[in-house]
Structure 1
Amino acid sequence: MSFMNNLRPGGRHGLSSRETRDPIGFAVAAVNRLAQSDLIDRVGLRKQAEQAVYSTTRNGFRAATAAGRTFARAGSRTAGERPASAPSSGVFDLTPTEDESMLVDVAQELATEMLRPAASAANESCAAPEEVLAAAQEIGLPGLGVPESLGGIMEERSAMAGTLVAEALAKGDMGLAVAALAPGAVATAIGLWGTDVQQRTYLPAFTGTDVPAAALTIAEPTVLFDPFTLATTALRDGDGFVLDGVKSAVVRGADAELFVVAARLDGTPALFLVESGAEGLEVEADPSMGVRAAGLSRLHLAGVRVGADALLGDTDGAAYTECVRLSRLAWCALAVGTGQAVLNYVTGYVNERQAFGEPISHRQSVAFMVADIAIEVQAMRLVTWKAASRATRGQDFAREVALARQLCTEKGMKIGLDGVQLLGGHGFVKEHPVERWYRDLRAVGLMEGAVMV
């Protein structure tokens, strides 16, 4: 299957409700679309358009969130469907199943045909192209964590499938992978912890043909942020809650129609479903060093009122703790995929690059550095897959995901740095993608939320 042939060129041509309502949103969307158009090359305006995008993303914007669609309440106030855990054979085996292998093949094709070619422009414009997001929807990524009984594509719980897909997509580009996986993180959270009302109200939108932009937002703009010490608060007010605080690293915040917001309730972290049309929500551009294609932003909550049915999961912190761990597992998978991309690229480079009449790979210092990258990527992959395998089977994976995050944080940054070093002066320029991968890999130990498996 070729995604380039199956998708209409240019994606959606109409303006969203937010773009027609808000002039700042219209301006941001306009310059992004202009920068991605072939027309500006034909009329000689590429440099001016790129400068406009740079100025917009550098200076940022702050505006009301998108009005979004209306999610009609449905279902009963009972526990929702829960995906079944995969059976355990009792044998240590990380071989992907047939279904998982098929998913990986499709995700790798998407990464190769669409994510990698679009990555540089998306990095500059801080926005994912519509055709990339449409392709991710076409292969069913938003419903990957939703059980088949609720309209998803998996018969049983499979954190392993999500991990493999995240790794495959990150080989194309981590920022675009995050943008493509973000709606699925929200759908997965609702599938795991939602009530019958929440599942019947929201999940049909994620398993249909018009998937909403959505964001799982845990991080906050504080130094040494700890996800278990939240500054955002949720206070009980009558039969609902009032949310106050600021969330950061919100994927596609200006377009999102639904947020899963982490807030402190009675001293314990909890998750809340917040629709974008809620009064008191405001989104602000927050261009970052890496993962720029995900369109990261800040979400301001000032007295946002939500109903009692907005609480997602329990109030004792168990669901929230699992959410943090599953999110960290997803970031580890993204680190593995990006590290593999660095390894593949530098291997070809050092074999082709000539110095003193021979490839630079003939120098032991170069060959050993490439070998170290290969060892580190494989170590990251194995510990990440082990954590994902235990999560899939419903076993405790706290220790494994902690080890995976520590290893992927340290070795991921080293892989990025070594990749830049191996390219010499070429590692410092945007002609080669390694400098972007280096910036992306530094996010692994900092990001909380956004994606989840």
Structure 2
Amino acid sequence: MSLTKSLKPGGRHGLSSQESRDPIGLAVAALSLVAQSDLIDRIGLRKRTEQAVFTVTRNGFKTMTAASRTFARGGKKGAPGVRVPAATPKGVFDLTPTEDEQMLVDVVTEFADEVVRPAAAEADETCAAPEALLKASLEIGLPILGVPESLGGISEERSAMAGTLVAEALARGDMGLAVATLAPGSVATAISLWGTEAQQATYLPAFTGDDVPAAALALTEPAVLFDVLQPSTTAVRRGDSFVLNGTKSLVVRGAEAELFVVGAELEGRPVLFLVESSTDGLAVEGDPAMGVRAAGLTRLTLTDVTVPADAVLGATDGSTYLECVRLSRLAWCALAVGTGQAVLDYVTPYVKEREAFGEPVAHRQSVAFMVANIAIELQSMRLLTYKAASRAAAGKDFSREVALARNLCASKGMQIGLDGVQLLGGHGFVKEHPVERWYRDLRAVGVMEGSVLV
């Protein structure tokens, strides 16, 4: 399918019936339309406009959660939900993206370059993603990437590889905005992977419709030496319900989220719960961090929050929670690779053009070696991440691969950010250049748990 092909009338995104059957074609076509449109002008990125937003960096806020829409209950309680099959194994070790995946990467990269990056500096300053940019991300189909086609999405098989490629491409524009745009789709993917028929029928129509709710994964907690596999947030059985108590930190767009996937300890095992924002006992406050500020990070407090028995997402033996953590870490690895690539793309021409003592600084061996080392480490990060993603998509055990990828991406990602600042010298310390923001963002990879998954 040509990227320049215009959308046709019919269907939610105006696609022909053949295009709607293509698992990635729908997103590609939608992205293509956005890329050709006057989107950048419409959302005001070419001309800075005044925007009324709460700024947690200056005065903070503390409020109740957003009033949730009424999610229409449906489906048969307890019945297993729809599951997409694992990707067909290629039989050889080949991490080359398929033609459709490469097309998707190309158009998402264009969206990141033309729309996301110009908005990044202001979004970092205000700790909020522009509303128009978030709406544009919905138009291009990001929330339905991991939703089965039979439930209104575009996934015919496990989408871990496609999701990894999309996360990497978006992070080349800005990690914070990438997290903000990917968060709702992460919740939709989680419900697609582990939800019951009733949960899928209740919540997924909202994500596949025109008015997609903000949603967030809430796993991280504000504790010293926090272990994501041993959450302090507790869930206690009380009749046919569960009562949740605890505090979650670094929750993406928590002030506007209408649905949360909350991790809590239930009878000694970590378990996921679906919690609607209208539930009594929820409160949210600003929780700005050093990096990923454009994601609108918040702290979610749960005080005697009562949810029904069917709010449990997946198994209660800890296996679903563990898989969620691994898929989340995989997403953060992809974000690290994308941001690291942005650093490399920025410093390479800089050191060739910047002159000192009558010649480009790239002629200095120490500078050239530092740039080369960034490229080497970045390729190592990418290969490990892709291998873990490919195994996850194929339904294979990827615990070892994602552990290796996260370890490398957390340490080398921070080093790439630091080296990027070093290579710019004094310019690396000022906000005129984006490298200092990328350095702050890359430090989140080893700290953030949850928030996004693929």
- TM (norm. structure 2) is 0.90
Maintained 8 Å contact 1:53/1:124: no
User: Which residue is 1:332 aligned to?
Assistant: 333
Deviations along 1:283-330, one digit per CA (max 9) or x if unpaired, are 010111000000000000000111111000011011110000000000
User: Which residue is 1:127 aligned to?
Assistant: 128
Maintained 8 Å contact 1:290/1:443: yes
**Structure 1 residue 69: Cα displacement:** 0.7
Deviations along 1:57-77, one digit per CA (max 9) or x if unpaired, are 243111000002100100012
**Structure 1 residue 87: Cα displacement:** 1.2
Aligned residue type for 1:341: A
For residue 228 of structure 1, give the secondary structure of its aligned residue in structure 2. coil
User: Which residue is 1:287 aligned to?
Assistant: 288
For residue 419 of structure 2, give the secondary structure of its aligned residue in structure 1. helix
**Structure 1 residue 36: Cα displacement:** 11
- 1:350/1:395 Cα in 2 relative to 1: closer, same or farther (>3 Å)? same
User: Which residue is 2:261 aligned to?
Assistant: 260
For residue 180 of structure 1, give the secondary structure of its aligned residue in structure 2. helix
Answering whether residue 37 of structure 2 is matched by residue 5 of structure 1, we say yes
Maintained 8 Å contact 2:159/2:393: yes
For residue 316 of structure 2, give the secondary structure of its aligned residue in structure 1. coil
Cα distance in 1 for residues equivalent to 2:40 and 2:431: 29
Aligned residue type for 1:340: Q
For residue 337 of structure 1, give the secondary structure of its aligned residue in structure 2. helix
Structure that is richer in helix per residue: 1
User: Which residue is 1:24 aligned to?
Assistant: none
Cα distance in 2 for residues equivalent to 1:320 and 1:6: 42
User: Which residue is 1:382 aligned to?
Assistant: 383
Maintained 8 Å contact 2:254/2:298: yes
Deviations along 1:111-158, one digit per CA (max 9) or x if unpaired, are 001110000000000000112111211111101111111111121112
**Structure 1 residue 4: Cα displacement:** 7.8
User: Which residue is 2:189 aligned to?
Assistant: 188
Cα distance in 2 for residues equivalent to 1:53 and 1:62: 11
Cα distance in 2 for residues equivalent to 1:425 and 1:438: 14
For residue 59 of structure 1, give the secondary structure of its aligned residue in structure 2. coil
User: Which residue is 2:198 aligned to?
Assistant: 197
Cα distance in 2 for residues equivalent to 1:107 and 1:136: 10
Cα distance in 2 for residues equivalent to 1:339 and 1:8: 25
For residue 57 of structure 1, give the secondary structure of its aligned residue in structure 2. coil
User: Which residue is 1:413 aligned to?
Assistant: 414
Unmatched segments (≥5 aa) in structure 1? 12-32, 41-48
**Structure 1 residue 7: Cα displacement:** 3.8
Maintained 8 Å contact 2:144/2:154: yes
Cα distance in 2 for residues equivalent to 1:202 and 1:366: 52
Aligned residue type for 1:190: I
Deviations along 1:158-208, one digit per CA (max 9) or x if unpaired, are 200000000000000000000000001100100000000000110011111
Aligned residue type for 2:294: A
How many matched pairs?
Answer: 421
Aligned residue type for 1:251: V
Maintained 8 Å contact 1:110/1:135: no
User: Which residue is 1:141 aligned to?
Assistant: 142
Aligned residue type for 2:60: G
Cα distance in 2 for residues equivalent to 1:64 and 1:259: 14
Maintained 8 Å contact 2:35/2:107: no
**Structural RMSD (CA):** 1.8
- 1:67/1:424 Cα in 2 relative to 1: closer, same or farther (>3 Å)? same
**Structure 1 residue 89: Cα displacement:** 2.4
User: Which residue is 1:449 aligned to?
Assistant: 450
Maintained 8 Å contact 2:406/2:446: yes
Maintained 8 Å contact 1:115/1:173: yes
**Structure 1 residue 429: Cα displacement:** 0.1
Maintained 8 Å contact 1:36/1:121: no
**Structure 1 residue 97: Cα displacement:** 1.2
User: Which residue is 1:21 aligned to?
Assistant: none
Maintained 8 Å contact 1:10/1:130: no
Cα distance in 2 for residues equivalent to 1:10 and 1:70: 31
- 1:38/1:88 Cα in 2 relative to 1: closer, same or farther (>3 Å)? closer
Maintained 8 Å contact 1:263/1:272: yes
Please give the residue correspondences for 1:48-67 in structure 2 after superposition, counting only pairs within 5 Å.
Answer: 56-67=56-67
For residue 57 of structure 2, give the secondary structure of its aligned residue in structure 1. helix
User: Which residue is 2:20 aligned to?
Assistant: none
Unmatched segments (≥5 aa) in structure 2? 1-31
Cα distance in 2 for residues equivalent to 1:167 and 1:433: 17
Cα distance in 1 for residues equivalent to 2:99 and 2:202: 32
Aligned residue type for 1:417: L
**Structure 1 residue 38: Cα displacement:** 4.0
Please give the residue correspondences for 1:158-169 in structure 2 after superposition, counting only pairs within 5 Å.
Answer: 158-169=159-170
Cα distance in 2 for residues equivalent to 1:430 and 1:9: 24
Answering whether residue 132 of structure 2 is matched by residue 100 of structure 1, we say no
Runs of 4+ in structure 1 over 6 Å off: none
Cα distance in 2 for residues equivalent to 1:279 and 1:207: 27
**Structure 1 residue 378: Cα displacement:** 0.3
For residue 436 of structure 1, give the secondary structure of its aligned residue in structure 2. helix
**Structure 1 residue 83: Cα displacement:** 1.0
User: Which residue is 1:70 aligned to?
Assistant: 70
Deviations along 1:243-296, one digit per CA (max 9) or x if unpaired, are 100001100000000000000011100000000000000001011100000000
**Structure 1 residue 9: Cα displacement:** 5.9
Cα distance in 2 for residues equivalent to 1:430 and 1:317: 43
Aligned residue type for 1:163: T
Answering whether residue 230 of structure 2 is matched by residue 229 of structure 1, we say yes
Please give the residue correspondences for 1:264-283 in structure 2 after superposition, counting only pairs within 5 Å.
Answer: 264-283=265-284
Cα distance in 1 for residues equivalent to 2:246 and 2:162: 34
Cα distance in 2 for residues equivalent to 1:155 and 1:228: 31
For residue 243 of structure 2, give the secondary structure of its aligned residue in structure 1. strand
Aligned residue type for 1:106: V
Aligned residue type for 1:302: T
- 1:39/1:81 Cα in 2 relative to 1: closer, same or farther (>3 Å)? closer
- TM (norm. structure 1) is 0.90
Deviations along 1:219-261, one digit per CA (max 9) or x if unpaired, are 0000111011110001101111011000011000000000000
Maintained 8 Å contact 2:40/2:114: no
Maintained 8 Å contact 2:339/2:442: yes
Please give the residue correspondences for 1:83-94 in structure 2 after superposition, counting only pairs within 5 Å.
Answer: 83-94=84-95
- 1:53/1:266 Cα in 2 relative to 1: closer, same or farther (>3 Å)? closer
For residue 109 of structure 1, give the secondary structure of its aligned residue in structure 2. helix
For residue 326 of structure 2, give the secondary structure of its aligned residue in structure 1. helix
For residue 421 of structure 1, give the secondary structure of its aligned residue in structure 2. helix
